Amino acid sequence: MINVVGMGYIGLPTALMLASSGQEVTGTDSNDKVVEQLNTRQINSDEKNLNDVFDKAISNDISFTNHCVKANIYIVAVPTPFDKTTKKIDPAFVIQAVKDVLLVAPKGAIVVIESTISPGTIKNHIKPLATQFGFTLGGNIHFAHAPERIIPGNMIYELQHNSRTIGADEKSVGEQIKALYSSFCQGDIILTDIETAEMTKVVENTYRDINIAFANELAKICHINGLDVYEIIKIANKHPRVNILQPGPGVGGHCISVDPWFLVGDYSDTAKLTKAAREINDSMPAFVLDRTKTIMAENGVTDNSRVGIYGLTYKENVNDVRESPTLQLHDIVGEDYGFAYYDPYIGRDIVKRQYHDLDKFLANTDIIVIMTAHNEILENVNKLADKIVFDTRNKLNVGRKTYKL
C-alpha cells in the first residue's frame, strides 16, 4: 500500500499516476470536503489528461481518506510556505503530516517527502520525530526526499517524462523508491543523499528565478534606451550557450517565487545574487503600474475604471493565483483603486470590480493590460482591435495602440 498525504497540486497527480500504474494507493487529505469530492469523482481538473488518469486510478481502486492509513510507503506532498519576515521555510505542514504518518506507520515503513523543502529540513525537523514516535531511524523507519519538477499545465506528461532525483540515506531505500517511481516515470531517476536532493530542487527554481530577473532587468534597461528587449533576447539566444528567459509583469506561483527565499533565509550573508533577483522580480508589478499610469496620461485616460487588467492567475492557462503578479499589483493600488479585472479561469470574485465575461470587460474599458496570456485572449485578439493594449507578455500584436514592457 502507498499512502499519499496531501491531495493538492502535486499529491493528487502523483497518487493518481501511482494507482493508474497498478499500485495500491490511498490518497489522504485533512480537508473533508476535498476527500468527499475525490471519493465522488467531483474533481474535474484543467490539467491535460488528468481526468483520464483519474478514471484509470479509480478502476484500480484508489481510495481517499481524511486520515493516514497503514502503508509500506508514505509520500508527503503538503505545502511548504516561507515565513515572510525571516524568509525561512515554515515546515509546520510537513512536520504535522509526518507526525500523522508516524502515528499509524508500521515498522519498516519508508516516508518520502515530495514537498519542496530547504536544505537540512529533513535532518533538523523530520528525522528527530522518529525517536519521538518510538521508531529507530534507519532501522525500522526510513526517510527519503523525492522533489518533483512538474509544471502546472503539463503535469501528467512531465510526471511521466521528466527525470527525477531521489535522496536517501540508505542505498537500498533509494533503490526501493526508485523502483516505485519507475512504475510511471520514464525519465532518468538519479539517486543521491537527502541534503543534496533538497538543495538541488531549490537550486533549479532559483536558477530560473535569476534568469527571469536578468530578463526583467534587461526590460527596464531597454525601456530607458528605447531598444526592443524581445529582439535583443531573441538574437542573443541564437548563441549556442545563451538562453535568456522572457521578461514579464513579475514572478508568481508557489515555487519560483518562494524557493529562492529559502536560500536567502538560510544564507543571508552569502545569497546576494539570489536576493537581488527576488527583489528585481518582485519590483515588476510596480514597474507595470508606473507604465500603466504613463500610458493613461499619454492617451488622456483619467478614469481608473477604464483600465482593464486581464489575468489574475500567475501564468497562462492555469487557475492558480498564488503569488500572482496581478495580485501583487492589486495589493499595491488597494482594492478601491478602480481598475477592472478579468480572468477566464477565476469564476469566483477575489477582487473588487472583477468581470466574468470577456465582452462585458472589454465593453467597459479602454486600456487593456495583459498580465496573463491565456489562450482565450490569443483566440480573441480581434476584440482588442480598437483598444489601447499594454502587453506585458509580448504575446499579442494588436490594438489601435500597443505597448510592451
Contact residues for ligand SAJ (CB under 6 A)?
A: 116, 148-152, 204-205, 208, 212, 245-246, 248, 251-253, 255-256, 314-315
CB of residue 81 vs ligand SAJ: minimum separation in angstroms? 13
Instruction: Give me the least distance between CB of 24 and ligand SAJ, in Å please.
Output: 26
Phi, psi at residue 287, to the nearest 5°? Answer: -65, -40
Given the C-alpha cell 526583467, which residue does it identify? Answer: 216
CA distance 270 to 247: 26
CB 254 within 8 A of CB 300: no
Place of cell 499516476: 17
Q: Report how far residue 19's alpha carbon sits from residue 11's, in angstroms, rounded to the nearest whole number.
A: 12
Residue 95: CB minimum distance to ligand SAJ, A: 20
Closest CB to ligand SAJ among residues 247, 308 = 247
Dist CA 38 CA 124 (whole Å): 34
Catalytic residue among 68, 185, 222, 255: 255
**Residue 29 and residue 16: Cα distance in Å, rounded?**
14
Distance separating alpha carbons of residues 113 and 299, to the nearest angstrom: 53
How many residues are recorded in the chain? 405
Cβ contact 288:392 at 8 Å:
yes
- Please, which residue, 71 or 144, has the CB nearer to ligand SAJ? 144
Q: What are the φ/ψ torsions at residue 274 (nearest 5 degrees)?
A: -60, -45
Cβ closest to ligand SAJ, residue 90 vs residue 204: 204
Q: Choose between 43 and 245: whose C-beta lies nearer to ligand SAJ.
A: 245
d(CA 6, CA 29): 5
For the record, the C-alpha cell of 103 comes out as: 502515528
Q: What is the nearest approach in angstroms of ligand SAJ to the Cβ of residue 152?
A: 5
Q: Which is nearer to ligand SAJ, 20 or 205 (CB)?
A: 205
Beta strand 354-355 with 367-370: parallel, antiparallel or unpaired?
A: unpaired
For the question of residue 222 being annotated catalytic, the response is: no
Taking residue 209's Cβ as centre, other Cβ atoms within 10 Å add up to 24
- The CB-of-218 to ligand SAJ minimum distance in angstroms stands at 12
The catalytic residue among 178, 201, 387, 404 is 201
| 26/216 with CB nearer ligand SAJ | 216
Active site residue 293: no
Smallest gap, in angstroms, from Cβ of residue 202 to ligand SAJ? 9
Which positions are annotated as active-site residues? 201, 255
